[in-house]
Homo-oligomer: A and B are copies of this chain.
């Protein structure tokens, strides 16, 4: 420190004491300590360490491809041609692949997948929504493309946040929740309002509980937005049409902006369950609702049968949004330039897949059906095997990609966890990982009723592996229970 002037450098500019306090409040368990430990164990295994297992099985994140799901051929073929248009002349590809790639490239300035694709995709998305919703119109001007659904969800929350103290925006989110919501609210400095899903009734949404949460919240903040995840993550429930109607009526009465996270819209497995979009139900409830209730709904390329997490494609549709606010939204998203164009192109293919009669149609349908059928099978298997374990209760996995079983943790284990400064379900999951190599996420990362414990496990491992995994969980749980009884 001999140079002149430097005497004034007083330690670091940026420390945890001087950083953005809202960022510090963000919690994100899905990639937390459990995942760090999993990576450590993998490295130990690579270095030849002896363990009671030979590999770590990651049932912690919803990345289908990483668990072996194959990409949809048509999608990847078109994307390859978009990347390298020379292939348009190759005999390797069917005609519909070529014409689709040509169409996408034509919509891009300079014929290269640059920034300007958006308009064509937004039109196709609007067309898809209209068809999905039985002909209810959809205006491309209401479609905003995004970098995965995450981006769009955070953007809408960002628009809604204002005020401080009792006037601070409150957002109602389900508990258990997908932790993007709590993280975004913490970062934005908004108030998180928990409404609890009804575990005894297959994680259904109960309007009485919504009202309880709202009334409580009105005492200390300004609740303005109601977030719904359907099908649910981590809970896997699929909402009935009746429930959606009730939610819309509630939002209308209570003056709440509705956010409908529908990224799992094709992931519905259970008999008697169907996906109903909030948009469709809203419009079918008549103009007194369809002309007033403000709704943003979200979709993504990351889930459903395509599972393309890496492309970060997504869109949202906004309904009844004030036109000046829409202009603000357009401005806000322009600052970040554009969502990734390969993701936009993929989104375009998802909303406009091969049609009957086109050369790629049969293969496309075969792949799509096989993936969804296998997911349904794994959903059933997971529920069934987990429910054979004393001390584990698993609701039906009606949709999405996860089970969220409740686990009984013996009092002595709860004590030991507390001594270690760990949540009891973190303690449980760490032990599961160390003893079996299975990586799942503690329920505390998603929120759960005080005194109950869960973990989230994806249904994504291939069936054979999943069976072994579930068997190991069973043995582990029985051993754990015995050890701490």
Which A residues are closer than 8 A to B by beta carbons? 1-3, 5-6, 8-10, 12-16, 18-21, 23-24, 26-28, 30-32, 58, 61, 63-71, 76-77, 79-81, 83-84, 87, 90, 92, 108-110, 112-117, 147-148, 150-151, 154, 158-162, 179-180, 183-184, 187, 224-225, 249, 252-257, 288, 292-294, 302, 308-312, 320-322, 324-325, 328, 331-332, 334-343
A115-B309, A180-B335, A337-B309 given; A162·B83 CB < 8 A: no
Residues in B neighbouring A252, C-beta threshold 8 A: 5-6, 9
CA distance in complex: A339, B161 (Å): 25
What is the chain B residue whose CB lies nearest that of A16?
A: B324
Contact A10 B332 (CB under 8 A): no
Contact A255 B10 (CB under 8 A): yes
CA distance in complex: A276, B148 (Å): 36
CA distance in complex: A112, B346 (Å): 15
A226 to chain B, nearest CB (A): 10
5 new A-B contacts at CB < 8 Å, known A63-B109, A65-B108: A6-B292, A28-B334, A69-B110, A83-B342, A184-B335
Contact A20 B340 (CB under 8 A): no
Contact A294 B12 (CB under 8 A): yes
Q: Which of A159, A162, A339 has the most CB of B within 10 A?
A: A162
Contact A66 B109 (CB under 8 A): yes
Oligomeric state, in number of copies? 2
Residues in B neighbouring A254, C-beta threshold 8 A: 8
A254 to chain B, nearest CB (A): 7
Contact B84 A76 (CB under 8 A): yes
CA distance in complex: A113, B65 (Å): 8
Contact B288 A2 (CB under 8 A): yes
What is the chain B residue whose CB lies nearest that of A12?
A: B322
Residues in B neighbouring A334, C-beta threshold 8 A: 28, 30-31
CA distance in complex: A79, B456 (Å): 34
Contact B309 A159 (CB under 8 A): no
Contact B338 A310 (CB under 8 A): yes
Contact A337 B150 (CB under 8 A): yes
CA distance in complex: A292, B14 (Å): 12
CA distance in complex: A42, B159 (Å): 31
Contact B9 A253 (CB under 8 A): yes
**Which one of B21, B81, B161, B336 lies within 8 Å of A150 (CB-CB)?**
B336
CA distance in complex: A150, B65 (Å): 28
Residues in B neighbouring A61, C-beta threshold 8 A: 115
**Which one of B114, B162, B337 lies within 8 Å of A18 (CB-CB)?**
B162
Residues in B neighbouring A180, C-beta threshold 8 A: 335-336
CA distance in complex: A108, B76 (Å): 16
CA distance in complex: A320, B11 (Å): 11
Residues in B neighbouring A76, C-beta threshold 8 A: 83-84
CA distance in complex: A4, B308 (Å): 44
**Which one of B27, B162, B324, B342 lies within 8 Å of A310 (CB-CB)?**
B342
Residues in B neighbouring A26, C-beta threshold 8 A: 331-332, 335
Chosen A-B contacts, 20 in total, with CB atoms closer than 8 Å, are A6-B253, A9-B252, A13-B255, A13-B256, A13-B294, A18-B224, A23-B159, A31-B331, A65-B110, A65-B114, A66-B108, A66-B109, A67-B109, A67-B110, A76-B83, A80-B81, A115-B309, A150-B337, A302-B337, A312-B338
